[in-house]
Structure 1
Amino acid sequence: MTIRNATPDDCQEIHTMICELASFEQLEHKVCSQSDDLKKALFEKPIVAKCLVAEAKAPQSLAAFALFYHNYSSFTGKQGIYLEDIYVRPDHRGTGIGKKLILEVLRYARENNCPRVDWAVLDWNQKAIDFYRSLGATVMSDWRIARIENP
């Protein structure tokens, strides 16, 4: 398994995995993006996100991805990282690839002087919560996500 930066040619398969993730999260009705939107975000200026992929050796296809972007913390006075999505296809779960992807995101954060990495996890996804805690993450019960759609 190889972890590498996504390329424009990966965008269709990454988008397929985004749809797989949405289905797993019972949120497929919320996906309105297309692979071209992803390609624009990752590769056209201004570049607004970064994506790492895990490529399986045989058959040569993508097994997982981590999509993230910079944010800013007024408390730290520095940019941080927000991990928008991490997804490992079912056939590759339990192989350590999710951990490797997160460790690569953390390495990127250190190299770019980002003091923290944040992400959200659904409260019913106990396997993910346990996994994140095993990596040293704190799952904060005192914060909630607020959102206004289509402002």
Structure 2
Amino acid sequence: MIIDTSLEGFKLRFAEEKDVPLILELIKELADYEKMLDEVVATEEDIYESLFERKVAEVVIGEYQNKPVGYIIFFHNFSTFLGRPGIYLEDLYVKPEMRGKGMGKIMLSFLAKLCIERKCGRLEWNCLDWNQPSINFYKQMGAIPMDEWTIYRVCDDALKKLAMRFDE
């Protein structure tokens, strides 16, 4: 399904199975921009399984004149306080040469519209502290930083050790 936008030549579409190589390529481009390319261990098989077999996240591809220029990847979370689901934006990426044309605004506003349609209470995401252009963009779009929250992560060996504690 092609979704027309207000920007001539720019369209959105939900990713299909054939897009797996493209999705991984865009993920790597974003990681390179964020100086984290060495942390990308995902494979095409991982992306396929997660998105199209287990369906734990969704991807929308942004195309300008029928060429992919960006993507958003998101999934549902849940707010116990609201008693409603939310959408968590994992990635929003527009190729550097296409920035400043309004595509990121369109993709973020599309996701907000999807939130409303799906009766979600929130749209949330993280942003690297050093990424001032993105911080400025998000604030311009009405986002408020949640300074009182700290993200915690357990992964790799620590995740395995934590899981083993269940059987102790």
Same fold (TM over 0.5): yes
Matched, 1:56 2:64: yes
**Corresponding residue to 1:115 among 118, 121, 131:** 121
TM-score calculated relative to the size of structure 2: 0.84
**Corresponding residue to 1:3 among 12, 36, 47:** 12
The residue type paired with residue 49 of structure 1 is A
Q: Please report how far the alpha carbon of residue 127 of structure 1 lies from its aligned counterpart in structure 2 after TM superposition.
A: 0.6
Q: Deviations over 1:112-145 (max 9, x none)?
A: 1101011000000011011001111101222121
Could you tell me how far apart the structure 2 residues matched to 1:17 and 1:3 are? 15
In the other structure, the counterpart of 2:24 is 15
Q: Deviations over 1:63-89 (max 9, x none)?
A: 000000001111111111110111111
In the other structure, the counterpart of 1:145 is 151
Q: Please report how far the alpha carbon of residue 37 of structure 1 lies from its aligned counterpart in structure 2 after TM superposition.
A: 1.6
The list of structure 1 runs, each at least 4 consecutive aligned residues, that deviate by more than 4 angstroms after superposition, is: none
**Structure 2 residues without counterparts, runs of 5 or longer:** 1-9, 160-168
Could you tell me how far apart the structure 2 residues matched to 1:51 and 1:127 are? 23
**Structure 1 residues without counterparts, runs of 5 or longer:** none
In the other structure, the counterpart of 1:28 is 37
Query: Secondary structure of 1:32's partner?
Result: coil
Q: Please report how far the alpha carbon of residue 42 of structure 1 lies from its aligned counterpart in structure 2 after TM superposition.
A: 1.8
TM-score calculated relative to the size of structure 1: 0.93
Could you tell me how far apart the structure 2 residues matched to 1:145 and 1:123 are? 13
The residue type paired with residue 58 of structure 2 is K
Could you tell me how far apart the structure 1 residues matched to 2:148 and 2:119 are? 26
Q: Which has the larger radius of gyration?
A: 2
In the other structure, the counterpart of 1:84 is 90
Single out whichever of 114-123 and 71-80 deviates more from structure 2. 71-80
